């Protein structure tokens, strides 16, 4: 099983950007005859949410949750809209809203809301989507509606966005940015490429004003990123030379398996490489090497999401059960997990701005792997980017990390952060997003 994901709750390691999950049943007891979405208001904040039917024959539906900017009105203003996607594959967008401090309120231990001063909706409208089908409150009523590749999921997601844009024209009549973490290194290139290519077609169903994408600790190019665990472990002092050699042998096996087309086996061997680093280092977390336990639990927002009152508020069927991740999706997409999407990046960078950020203490999608992945992007200016100066990036006078940029591409290394930058350094991530969207530099 892949475990590339955020490590939450009890944090059993899973390999690719997956969070730990509990099985999610396929479909709803009663297929929806139509969309359920509409406005919500809670704790002084407003927005829209609910189910949107993606297949009228089966009733399979996507759940979205849109938060209006605190001083904005998505019906009349021009503030940017940020779309947020989580990893997995098969983990819900609500993880970002709550655990990564994107949303306007958090849920405390008494299952009560408390204001989050670091929310992104101080500056932007934000929408998250439980993606793909079978994730969170999104569900499939037919196996034929499920997807097992990023490409097929992107086509389905594009159709959903077109439907929303035609249903609510003002929402998308503005600059749009797409952000996400972990397996979003697949999701975001997939949907960005789809949007950009459709925009240039003779008669696009809708022309989205996509201005940029941001990927946090992304899993983009397995052929590169699977080969860096031994080196990262050695360079950070987690393992010694002999242990490095042992792990490097597993990495060589992974590369040979990928070249032979044995992608599921390659994924399993990659799990072993990652686990060995953690084991040799005394049991460090593969998501943050500075801790010897799991990330803190998800808190009480899962219970809040599963309450009848919240389901009524968010306009989802009462019989649905929210879970952080669906391992069945992760298993079904094993081949996709080990498929590279780096080939889409040159086209994307040529057309919109891109920021790739990563926590310095993340092992599973480590900074060495990110830099090597970026160096492989077949973009005409990649040499100039790689040779550009790394600048110290500060937030409120404190060093937050290091930034490198050239033309449309920026890469940021975030200090004192692991796999989930928004959880570990919420103020710094929000600063990063604001700088990127507003072209403020580093």
Average pLDDT over residues 3-14: 41
CA distance 40 to 372: 44
- Cβ(324)–Cβ(92) below 8 Å: yes
Interval 16-44: pLDDT, tens: 343 333 333 345 455 556 999 999 999 99
pLDDT for 295 equals 82
On whether both 31 and 167 belong to a single domain, the answer is yes
On whether both 213 and 148 belong to a single domain, the answer is yes
CA distance 137 to 321: 7
- Cβ(39)–Cβ(66) below 8 Å: no
Average pLDDT over residues 389-410: 97
Residue 426 lies in a domain: no
Interval 148-160: pLDDT, tens: 999 999 999 999 9
Residue 59 lies in a domain: yes
Average pLDDT over residues 50-66: 96
Average pLDDT over residues 109-135: 97
Residue 425 lies in a domain: no
pLDDT for 3 equals 58
Residue 165 lies in a domain: yes
On whether both 36 and 57 belong to a single domain, the answer is yes
Other beta carbons within 10 Å of 233: 27
Average pLDDT over residues 292-303: 87
Last residue of a domain, one of 320, 339, 356: 356
On whether both 110 and 238 belong to a single domain, the answer is no
127 phi and psi angles, rounded to 5 deg: -130, 135
Residue 395 lies in a domain: no
On whether both 146 and 126 belong to a single domain, the answer is yes
On whether both 196 and 235 belong to a single domain, the answer is no
Angle at 324 between CA 323 and CA 329, to 5 degrees: 85
For the chain, how many structural domains are there in total? 2
pLDDT for 32 equals 58
Residue 269 lies in a domain: yes
Higher pLDDT: 331 or 375? It is 375
Last residue of a domain, one of 234, 250, 280: 280
**CATH number of the CATH domain containing 54:** 3.40.50.1820
On whether both 91 and 186 belong to a single domain, the answer is yes
Higher pLDDT: 250 or 21? It is 250
On whether both 114 and 87 belong to a single domain, the answer is yes
- Give the pLDDT band (50/70/90) at residue 236: very high
CA distance 387 to 309: 54
On whether both 318 and 209 belong to a single domain, the answer is yes
Residue 387 lies in a domain: no
pLDDT for 414 equals 98
Last residue of a domain, one of 356, 374, 403: 356
pTM of the shown model: 0.94
On whether both 242 and 113 belong to a single domain, the answer is no
CA distance 205 to 198: 8
pLDDT for 331 equals 87
Residue 414 lies in a domain: no
Q: Please report, to the nearest 10 degrees, the dihedral formed by the alpha carbons of residues 428, 438, 125, 408 taken in order.
A: -90
- The DSSP string of 141-209 is SSGGG---SHHHHHHHHHHHHHHHHHHSGGGGSS-EEEEEETTHHHHHHHHHHHHHHHHTSSS-S----
**% of the chain at pLDDT higher than 90:** 90
On whether both 267 and 137 belong to a single domain, the answer is no
- Cβ(384)–Cβ(354) below 8 Å: no
- Give the pLDDT band (50/70/90) at residue 135: very high
pLDDT for 30 equals 53
On whether both 114 and 240 belong to a single domain, the answer is no
- Could you list the residue range(s) of the whole structural domain that residue 112 is in? 3-219+296-356
Q: 433 pLDDT exceeds 80?
A: yes
């Amino acid at each position: 099983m892949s475990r590339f994901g955020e490590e939450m709750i009890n944090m059993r390691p899973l390999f690719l950007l997956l969070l730990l999950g509990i099985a999610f049943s396929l479909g709803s007891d009663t297929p929806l005859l139509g969309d359920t979405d509409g406005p919500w208001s809670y704790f002084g904040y407003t927005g829209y949410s609910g189910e949107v039917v993606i297949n009228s024959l089966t009733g399979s539906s996507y759940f979205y949750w849109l938060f209006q900017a605190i001083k904005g009105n998505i019906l009349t203003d021009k503030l940017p809209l940020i779309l947020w996607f989580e990893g997995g594959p098969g983990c819900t967008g609500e993880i970002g809203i709550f655990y990564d401090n994107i949303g306007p309120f958090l849920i405390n231990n008494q299952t009560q809301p408390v204001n989050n001063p670091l929310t992104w909706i101080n500056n932007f409208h934000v929408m998250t989507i439980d993606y793909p089908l079978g994730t969170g409150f999104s569900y499939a009523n037919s196996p034929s509606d499920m997807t097992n590749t990023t490409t097929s999921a992107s086509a389905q997601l594009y159709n959903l966005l077109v439907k929303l844009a035609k249903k609510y024209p003002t929402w998308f009549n503005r600059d749009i940015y797409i952000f996400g973490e972990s397996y979003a290194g697949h999701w975001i290139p997939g949907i960005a490429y789809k949007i950009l290519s459709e925009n240039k077609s003779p008669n696009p169903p809708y022309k989205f004003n996509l201005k940029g994408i941001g990927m946090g600790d992304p899993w983009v190019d397995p052929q590169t990123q699977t080969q860096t665990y031994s080196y990262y472990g050695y360079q950070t002092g987690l393992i010694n030379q002999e242990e490095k050699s042992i792990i490097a042998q597993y990495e060589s096996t992974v590369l040979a398996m990928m070249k032979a087309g044995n992608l599921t086996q390659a994924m399993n061997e990659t799990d072993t490489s990652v686990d060995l680093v953690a084991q040799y280092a005394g049991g460090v977390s593969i998501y943050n090497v500075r801790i010897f336990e799991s990330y803190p639990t998800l808190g009480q927002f899962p219970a809040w999401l599963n309450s009848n009152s919240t389901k009524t508020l968010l306009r989802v069927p009462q019989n649905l059960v929210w879970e952080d991740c669906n391992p069945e999706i992760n298993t079904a997409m094993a081949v996709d997990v080990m498929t590279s999407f780096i080939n889409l990046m040159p086209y994307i960078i040529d057309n919109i701005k891109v920021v790739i950020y990563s926590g310095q203490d993340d092992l599973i999608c480590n900074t060495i792997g990110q830099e090597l992945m970026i160096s492989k992007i077949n973009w005409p200016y990649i040499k100039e980017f790689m040779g550009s100066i790394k600048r110290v990036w500060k937030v409120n006078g404190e060093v937050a990390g290091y930034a490198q940029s050239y033309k449309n591409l920026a890469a940021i290394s975030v200090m004192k952060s692991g796999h989930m930058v928004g959880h570990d350094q919420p103020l710094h991530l929000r600063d990063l997003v604001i700088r990127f969207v507003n072209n403020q530099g580093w």
